[in-house]
Every structure is written in C-alpha cells, then in structure tokens.
Chains A and B, each alone.
Chain A
Amino acid sequence: MLALLIVGSFVLLTITYGQGSNGLQRGVSTIFSPVQGVADRALKPARDLVDWFDKTFDARGENSRLKSELAKTREQAVAGLEALQENAQLRKLVKLDRDPALATSPYDLVTGRVIARSPTVWRSSVNIDVGSGDGVHVNDPVISGAGLIGRIASVEPGSSQVILLTDHESAVTAKVLPSGVQGVVKPEVGDPETLILDFIDSTKRVHGGQTVVTAGWRAQGLPPSLFPPGLPLGEVTKTSPIEQAIEQEASEQVDVRPFADLRNLDLVQVLTGGSRG
C-alpha cells in the first residue's frame, strides 16, 4: 500500500509537473472555489484580528523608518512637482495628451479577492476568485493598489492562480527611474520584502530610494514582456558591488523592496485584454 502511494505520487509528479492545470484540478477547483470563497469571507474577521496583533508588533520598528522615509518623500514631492510642470509643458509641445500614469489604459481591470495561499515557504502563490469566466487569461498581469504583484499562472472558470513576484519562477523586466537602468527583477526565496534587480548595466549607477517600474521590453525576435511598461514595482533599498565570477567585471547587486505588501493581499486587480508590452 505504502509503495503504491509513493509510486502514485511520483507518477502524478511526472505527469503534471510543468503542465499547468489538468482536468482533475479544474474539477476540484470548480467545486471548491465557492466553498473557499465562503470560508475566506467567514474567516476574515479572525484573520484581521491576528493581523492586528502582528502589525502592532511591527509598528514600533516601522515608526522610525517611516519618519525618515517621510522626510525623503517630501524632498521627492517638491522635485516631482517641478517635473510635472515641465512634463505638462513638454506634452503641450509634442501634443501628447494621454495621461502618463495610465500605463494600464488599454487593459480592462477585473477585481478579485484572494481566497487561498500556498502554505509552504518555497512557493509564493495565491488563488483569487475570478477566472476565465470573468475574462482572465494565463499570463495576465496582476496588481494591487500599490503596484505589480505577479501574473496569472493558470485559470479555471471561477478562480485563478497568481504567481507572486516573490515566487522563484517569477522574473520581470524592469527599469530604475529616473536613471533608466534596466534589468530583471527576481525574488530571493524566503524573503518577501526583498527582490533583486539583476543583469543590470554596470556602467550606470543606481541609488537607494529610486523607483523601479516594469520595463515592458519589446525586442525584435523575442516574445514581448508580459507586463506593460510603467507599472510600479518597488523602491531601491540597497546597492552593493559584486564580483562577476565569469567575466571578472565589477557589477552591482540591487535590492528592491516591493511597493505592494505581498504578504497581506486581499483585493487585487487583473489586467485583462490589451496588447502585451
């Protein structure tokens, strides 16, 4: 019996690994996603209570960090106002009247609620209560109020799986503003508050506090990026020089703190439709 179960596990793993969802999973998910939705709503007060305790513990350390961030943000706000004025003038000059903040404009937004989350630290995915019936497709970008959180990995009629930025399978082409340095944002497994900006151009400098957004690469001969350009990803927290083992060339490791709180997600939005990149 035990041998049968072990062999069964290996067979299942071999058949289904890297294949996305199958009929069995679709069936189970279709049956249980309404149950999960009800359980999610019923347990929300209890979750909020535990979150309140957790946030209270966190608040002390957060306070001093937020004070220094506020001072920095004030400076940036002043600089931002100047940039906006300049931007408005330039837009008039080139007769460009589209709002730059609406990088997501060709997309329809489908709002969903997180109904389940992977329990192990080695995977970082959530399930949401909207699926193909709501127009959601595989690889659609998913955002929260603060910025990009991941992409749709598989879709069922009434639910979808979202691979978060902190999952080891995640990689997003990104650029640092205002310097324009480009690279790929990858996670560091086990640390939900740090992403790593990798493969960057070492000739340009990146500084702490700079904003990282999606690059939305569209290179000839290559598939376009899954994410539209300009979606906020995070803020540079640390840069440290690293020695490239192969090329013997100095480079930088850039740590990025995601804007979205990927550990506490409730309502999210899926960007459906539109052209990629």
Chain B
Amino acid sequence: MILTPKMVARIALIGLLGVLLQLSFFSQVELFHVSPDILPALVVCLALLGGSLTGAVAGFWIGFFVDCLLVEALGVSSLVLLSVGYLAGLFRERFEIHNSLLPALLCMGFTLGAELAFGLIALLLGLDAPVSVLIIRDLLLKSVYAFFLGWPLYLLVRRALRPALVEEPKLQRRRQPKALGV
C-alpha cells in the first residue's frame, strides 16, 4: 500500500466510522443474545491491505478512540487491537491470499483471539466476579458474526483504499511477452 496523506486520512475516517458504527449500532443489537464486534475484523481488513505496520498503527488508534469514547482505562483496547493488526499484517506479508474466503476466516479467528485477549487482560487486572460458561457461546457467536461481517467489510475497505493498493502481479499470464525477433 502506498501511504499518502490522503490515504492516511481515509484510513482514519474508516476507523472513525467503524468505531461509531460499532458503539451506536453493533454493540446495541443482538442476535441470539450476542452482539457482533466488528472492530477486530476492521483492523484485520486494514492490516491485510496495508501490512503489519499499518495494521498495528490502525489497531492502536482505533483501540485508543474506543477507550476514549467509552471512558474505559486507556491502553487495553489499543494493546489488543494493535496486536491483532500486527499479526494479521504479518500473515499478509508471509502468505499469499488466494482464497476469497480467507479474509473472512482471518476476521473470525482474530476476533476470537481478540476477545480471549480482552478476557486475559480483564483477569490480569482483577476480575471480581465468577465467569459463566455462557461466555463460550458469546465468544463463538462473536467469531461467527465476524466471519459473515468480515467478508463485506474487507470488500468495502479494499474499495475505499483501492487507489493506494499496489497491483499484484498476475500469477498466470495467458501469453508470456517475448522479445521481438526471437
């Protein structure tokens, strides 16, 4: 991804809209008693398109913004989402994404990982109440929702960032160019 100031502003706008949409819509609706969480999926999409550093920076600031708006302890969401962004970007840099389902699967996996990381941090900071087994249902359903929301989210983010994306070389060309006269 070629990061110009215009593209950075566009990523910031995507993050801002994502956070507002999450807090005002997705966190307040429930299907089967569980609310979707699109923020890890959004960070994964940005990381898959922009790489590990873009993912980590986007994750940090999206987390920071969420913690500011929810008046939570700053740093928790930043830490989790920057890890998600970095790891997803690293995956993009190490492996080719051939399958169109892969971004959605990564959104699913990283959402589960993010929720577990939030739980781990909550435990480390002192969880003062027993944990219900129903939390497993919540974690799994959140991941499933991330799978279904991750795919359109990836397409939308890719469309928004298209001018900055470096065209990948086609793996199979129908006609190989030949030098003239050979």
Binding site for B on A (CB under 8 A): 1-2, 5-6, 8-22, 24-25, 28-29, 32, 35-36, 39-40, 43, 46-47, 50-51, 53-54, 57, 114-123, 125, 127, 153-154, 156, 161, 168-171, 186-192, 194, 196, 263-264
B93 interface residue, CB < 8 Å from A? Answer: no
> Which of B21-29, B96-104, B151-159 sits within the interface?
B21-29
B68 interface residue, CB < 8 Å from A? Answer: yes
Docked complex Cα distance between A123 and B138 (Å):
13
B134 interface residue, CB < 8 Å from A? Answer: yes
Give the interface SS of chain B, mostly helix, strand, loop or mixed: helix
Kindly supply a per-residue 1/0 record for chain B positions 64-99, scoring 1 wherever the CB is within 8 Å of any chain A CB and 0 otherwise: 111111111111101100100010000000000000
Q: From B128, which residue of chain A is reached at the shortest CB distance? A: A168
Q: Is the CB of B130 within 8 A of A116?
A: no
Q: From B53, which residue of chain A is reached at the shortest CB distance? A: A1
A-B contacts, 21 of them at CB < 8 A, read: A2-B53, A5-B56, A6-B79, A12-B78, A24-B74, A25-B67, A25-B68, A43-B24, A43-B25, A46-B29, A51-B30, A116-B27, A118-B27, A119-B37, A120-B37, A122-B115, A156-B71, A161-B70, A188-B130, A188-B132, A263-B30
| A-chain residues with CB within 8 Å of residue B37 when the two chains form the complex | 119-120
Docked complex Cα distance between A105 and B74 (Å):
37
B110 interface residue, CB < 8 Å from A? Answer: no
Given contacts A54-B32, A125-B70, A156-B71, contact A40 B65 (CB under 8 A): no
B30, B33, B52, B67, most chain A CB atoms within 10 A: B30
| A-chain residues with CB within 8 Å of residue B122 when the two chains form the complex | 122-123, 168
Q: Is the CB of B71 within 8 A of A115?
A: no
Docked complex Cα distance between A211 and B32 (Å):
27
Given contacts A6-B82, A9-B60, A12-B74, contact A29 B31 (CB under 8 A): no
Q: Tell me, rounded to whole Å, the shortest Cβ–Cβ distance linking B41 to chain A.
A: 11
Q: Tell me, rounded to whole Å, the shortest Cβ–Cβ distance linking A90 to chain B.
A: 39
Q: Is the CB of B73 within 8 A of A16?
A: yes
B179 interface residue, CB < 8 Å from A? Answer: no
Chain B residues 32 to 49 lying within 8 A of chain A, measured CB to CB, are 32-35, 37, 39
Q: Is the CB of A127 within 8 A of B70?
A: yes
Q: Is the CB of B23 within 8 A of A191?
A: no
Q: Is the CB of A17 within 8 A of B125?
A: yes
Q: Is the CB of B33 within 8 A of A263?
A: yes
A10, A24, A43, most chain B CB atoms within 10 A: A43
Docked complex Cα distance between A186 and B127 (Å):
12
Q: Is the CB of B73 within 8 A of A191?
A: no
Q: From A186, which residue of chain B is reached at the shortest CB distance? A: B129
| A-chain residues with CB within 8 Å of residue B53 when the two chains form the complex | 1-2
Given contacts A2-B86, A5-B56, contact A10 B79 (CB under 8 A): yes
Q: Is the CB of B82 within 8 A of A116?
A: no
Q: Tell me, rounded to whole Å, the shortest Cβ–Cβ distance linking B37 to chain A.
A: 4
Q: Is the CB of A189 within 8 A of B82?
A: no
Q: Is the CB of B28 within 8 A of A28?
A: no
Q: From A26, which residue of chain B is reached at the shortest CB distance? A: B71
Q: Is the CB of B30 within 8 A of A264?
A: yes
| A-chain residues with CB within 8 Å of residue B70 when the two chains form the complex | 116, 118, 123, 125, 127, 161
| B-chain residues with CB within 8 Å of residue A154 when the two chains form the complex | 71
Q: Nearest 7 CB-CB pairs, A to B?
A: A190-B135, A13-B75, A12-B75, A191-B132, A116-B23, A117-B27, A9-B79
B20 interface residue, CB < 8 Å from A? Answer: yes
Q: From A19, which residue of chain B is reached at the shortest CB distance? A: B73
| B-chain residues with CB within 8 Å of residue A36 when the two chains form the complex | 20, 23-24, 69
